[in-house]
């Protein structure tokens, strides 16, 4: 085995199925050196620092993974250019995604849409000390390919060819397949004429319902924006559902001439409870629309894309019956300034729970996001918790009853809205756990509805309790 750099951390074979590996310096490469068996690589040598693999799929991409695993890499970043042919996407899933998850402790896959591989490498090169590539199809293309990469990248380049063997292409991991096929961007649906044509062909009535509670500052702009999309012919109704706001929210809404309802006054014989889920449940009684969309009224950065982006997948694809928005959410944290991302309960509670107990939902970027659209007939079959668990409950039931591929997610851009403090997040998380536990039949005989907080400071203890009953609504 001829290594071109003594620093290369090639380890002894840990698995019997490891093929033989040969690594040559670029200057020593000859086409006839490449055999039919084993892994052959040309390289500028090993460099300490971040490593990434730029892969399309196939035997050579798989060989890159084998070489990196044999070189002691445990955490891998894979960068993949979007493929135009569906078969190539399936090849990537089956020969890269599936084996990578088996070989490495953590896998990060980044899909890119750069026009060429040179532009991709130029864009990412500064972030990595080494880049690995699968070799091109023909031996004669290898050195020209190396030259194209070297012209735009200053780190170490390694190009790998695998054994000449046939591989089977399957669908790979369903979650990755779903993410690629059912994740959209609002900009994909920004042409009015196209959306109106889809809506005409679909022949469905659409209502946008706006839940509100003390949103005097932002509700006017949300309504104004929704009416703009309605005027464009994409939606048919805009309705406010208020939860007894103590400020001027209702007056502002009525000034725009839209229907305004207090959720406690809708079907009063059914009683009334506090909570967003209750408002969503009651709202179904004030419209006969075929598709119902809910958009929060506390969004300071509201834009038309929130409405046409959320509805676009359902208008363009009749098989999609449930659409959930996701966002970039910059939040202000007093102790540390601006923190990009948000979704703290998602990352600390919902995502770990989903991956442990409901992996079919693992492809959802923000499963707790409250901007959602669903076919009315599907919603009327759901059980609806009146509290903060409503988003998770709806998502779970949509996937269970309609099927994962009948659901989708849409990037609606950036959201700026009020953020809860840690205590508020704790209460929110507790209510979500209650809903998840009940839906998973995890309570048994020990149902708990009391959140206890115990604090210790300055030599004294403080104990507080707060009850959160989980109430379910059904149509």
pLDDT at 452: 87
By C-alpha distance, which of 291, 308, 461 is closest to 376?
A: 291
By C-alpha distance, which of 220, 224, 269, 271 is closest to 248?
A: 220
Whole-number mean pLDDT of the chain?
87
Distance CA 279, CA 119 (A): 49
pLDDT at 20: 80
Structure tokens at 317: 């694809």
Do 273 and 135 belong together in one domain?
no
> Is the distance from CB of 342 to CB of 427 less than 8 angstroms?
no
What average pLDDT score do residues 6-16 get? 61
Element housing 40 (H / E): strand 39-43
By C-alpha distance, which of 391, 376, 196 is closest to 275?
A: 391
Distance CA 365, CA 237 (A): 28
Confidence of residue 335 (pLDDT cuts 50, 70, 90): very low
What average pLDDT score do residues 381-399 get? 95
pLDDT at 419: 67
Q: What is the DSSP letter of 98?
A: H
pLDDT at 13: 46
Find the range with the poorest average confidence among 36-45, 187-196, 228-237, 400-409.
36-45
> Is the distance from CB of 245 to CB of 215 less than 8 angstroms?
yes
Show which of 111, 141, 172 is a domain's final residue. Answer: 172
Q: What is the DSSP letter of 127?
A: G
What average pLDDT score do residues 172-199 get? 89
pLDDT at 5 over 70: no
Distance CA 341, CA 260 (A): 33
Do 194 and 244 belong together in one domain?
yes
Give the model confidence (pLDDT) of 433-469 as tens digits.
Answer: 999 988 887 766 677 789 888 878 777 888 888 888 8
**Is residue 1 a part of any domain in this protein?**
no
Distance CA 381, CA 155 (A): 57
Do 115 and 143 belong together in one domain?
yes
Do 205 and 242 belong together in one domain?
yes
Do 277 and 396 belong together in one domain?
yes
Do 235 and 305 belong together in one domain?
yes
User: Domain containing 366: what range?
Assistant: 180-436
The residues, ordered by sequence, that sit 6+ positions from 238 with a Cβ below 8 Å of its Cβ are 207, 208, 210, 223, 226, 227, 230, 258
Count up the domains in the chain and report the number: 3
Give the model confidence (pLDDT) of 130-169 as tens digits.
Answer: 999 999 988 888 899 999 999 999 999 999 998 876 555 5
**Is residue 342 a part of any domain in this protein?**
yes
Distance CA 65, CA 162 (A): 10
pLDDT at 3: 45
Do 333 and 390 belong together in one domain?
yes
Show which of 151, 172, 193 is a domain's final residue. Answer: 172
Give the model confidence (pLDDT) of 12-43 as tens digits.
Answer: 544 455 568 888 888 888 766 666 678 889 99
Buried b or exposed e, range 248-278, using 16+ CB within 10 angstroms:
ebbebbeeeebebbbbbebeeeeebbebbbb
End-to-end, the C-alpha distance of the chain in Å comes to 70
Residue 80 CB-density burial (10 A; 0-12 exposed, 13-18 middle, 19+ buried): buried
SS3 287: coil
Give the model confidence (pLDDT) of 283-296 as tens digits.
Answer: 999 999 999 999 99
pLDDT at 18: 56
Distance CA 255, CA 298 (A): 18
**Is residue 16 a part of any domain in this protein?**
no
Residue 413 falls in which region: left (phi positive, over 0), alpha (psi -120 to 50) or beta: left
Q: How many Cβ atoms sit within 10 Å of the Cβ of residue 303?
A: 17
pLDDT at 327: 85
By C-alpha distance, which of 216, 270, 261, 289 is closest to 386?
A: 270
User: 279: domain CATH number?
Assistant: 3.90.550.10
**Is residue 72 a part of any domain in this protein?**
yes
pLDDT at 423: 83
pTM of the model: 0.79
Do 455 and 417 belong together in one domain?
no
Residue 169 CB-density burial (10 A; 0-12 exposed, 13-18 middle, 19+ buried): middle
pLDDT at 334: 37
Do 31 and 158 belong together in one domain?
yes
Distance CA 457, CA 469 (A): 30
Do 303 and 373 belong together in one domain?
yes
Task: Tell me the percentage of the chain whose pLDDT exceeds 70.
Answer: 88
Distance CA 397, CA 379 (A): 9
pLDDT at 284: 96
25 beta partners: 43
Q: What is the DSSP letter of 333?
A: E
Do 127 and 110 belong together in one domain?
yes
Confidence of residue 53 (pLDDT cuts 50, 70, 90): very high
What average pLDDT score do residues 208-219 get? 96
User: 98: domain CATH number?
Assistant: 3.40.50
Show which of 144, 172, 200 is a domain's final residue. Answer: 172
Distance CA 158, CA 21 (A): 13
Confidence of residue 281 (pLDDT cuts 50, 70, 90): very high
Task: Tell me the percentage of the chain whose pLDDT exceeds 90.
Answer: 60
**Is residue 319 a part of any domain in this protein?**
yes
pLDDT at 165: 64
pLDDT at 331: 39
**Is residue 15 a part of any domain in this protein?**
no
Do 141 and 216 belong together in one domain?
no
**Is residue 14 a part of any domain in this protein?**
no
> Is the distance from CB of 296 to CB of 211 less than 8 angstroms?
yes
SS3 125: helix
Confidence of residue 340 (pLDDT cuts 50, 70, 90): very low
Structure tokens at 283: 């709202």
**Is residue 2 a part of any domain in this protein?**
no
């Amino acid at each position: 085995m001829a290594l071109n750099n003594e620093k290369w951390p090639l380890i002894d074979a840990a698995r019997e199925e490891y093929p033989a590996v040969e690594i040559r310096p670029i200057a020593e490469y000859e086409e006839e050196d490449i055999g039919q068996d084993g892994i052959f690589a040309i390289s500028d040598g090993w460099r300490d620092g971040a490593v990434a693999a730029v892969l399309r799929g196939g035997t050579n991409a798989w060989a890159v993974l084998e070489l990196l695993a044999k070189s002691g890499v445990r955490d891998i970043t894979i960068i993949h250019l979007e493929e135009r042919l569906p078969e190539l996407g399936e090849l990537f899933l089956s020969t890269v995604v599936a084996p990578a998850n088996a070989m490495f402790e953590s896998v990060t896959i980044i899909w890119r849409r750069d026009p060429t591989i040179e532009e991709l490498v130029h864009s990412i090169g500064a972030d990595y000390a080494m880049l690995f590539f699968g070799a091109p199809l023909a031996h004669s293309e290898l050195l020209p390919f190396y030259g194209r990469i070297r012209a735009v990248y200053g780190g170490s380049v390694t190009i790998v060819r695998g054994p000449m063997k046939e591989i089977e292409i399957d669908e790979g991991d369903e979650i990755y397949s779903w993410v690629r096929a059912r994740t959209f961007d609002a900009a994909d649906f920004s042409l009015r004429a196209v959306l109106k044509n889809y809506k005409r062909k679909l022949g469905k009535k659409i209502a946008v319902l706006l839940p509100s509670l003390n949103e005097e500052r932002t509700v006017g702009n949300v309504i104004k924006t929704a009416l703009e999309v309605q005027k464009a012919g994409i939606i048919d109704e805009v309705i406010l559902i208020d939860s007894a706001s103590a400020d001027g929210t209702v007056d502002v809404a009525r000034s725009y001439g839209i229907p305004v309802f207090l959720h406690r006054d809708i079907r009063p014989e059914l009683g009334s409870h506090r909570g967003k889920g209750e408002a969503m449940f009651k709202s179904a009684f004030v419209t006969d629309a075929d598709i119902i969309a809910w958009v929060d009224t506390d969004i300071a950065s509201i834009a038309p894309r929130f409405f046409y982006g959320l509805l676009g997948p359902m208008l363009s694809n009749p098989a999609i019956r449930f659409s959930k928005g996701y966002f970039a959410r910059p939040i202000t944290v007093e102790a540390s300034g601006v923190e990009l991302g948000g979704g703290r309960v998602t990352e600390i509670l919902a995502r770990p729970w989903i991956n442990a107990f409901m992996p079919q939902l693992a492809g959802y970027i923000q499963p707790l996001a409250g901007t959602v659209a669903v076919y009315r007939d599907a919603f009327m079959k759901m059980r609806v918790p009146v509290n903060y668990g409503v988003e998770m409950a709806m998502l779970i039931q949509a996937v269970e009853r309609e099927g994962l591929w009948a659901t989708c997610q849409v990037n609606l851009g950036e959201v700026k809205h009020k953020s809860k403090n840690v205590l508020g997040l704790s209460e929110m998380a507790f209510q979500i756990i209650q809903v998840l536990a009940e839906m998973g039949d995890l309570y048994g005989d020990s149902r708990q509805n009391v959140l206890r907080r115990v604090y210790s400071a300055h030599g004294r203890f403080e104990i507080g309790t707060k009850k959160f009953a989980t109430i379910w609504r059904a149509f």
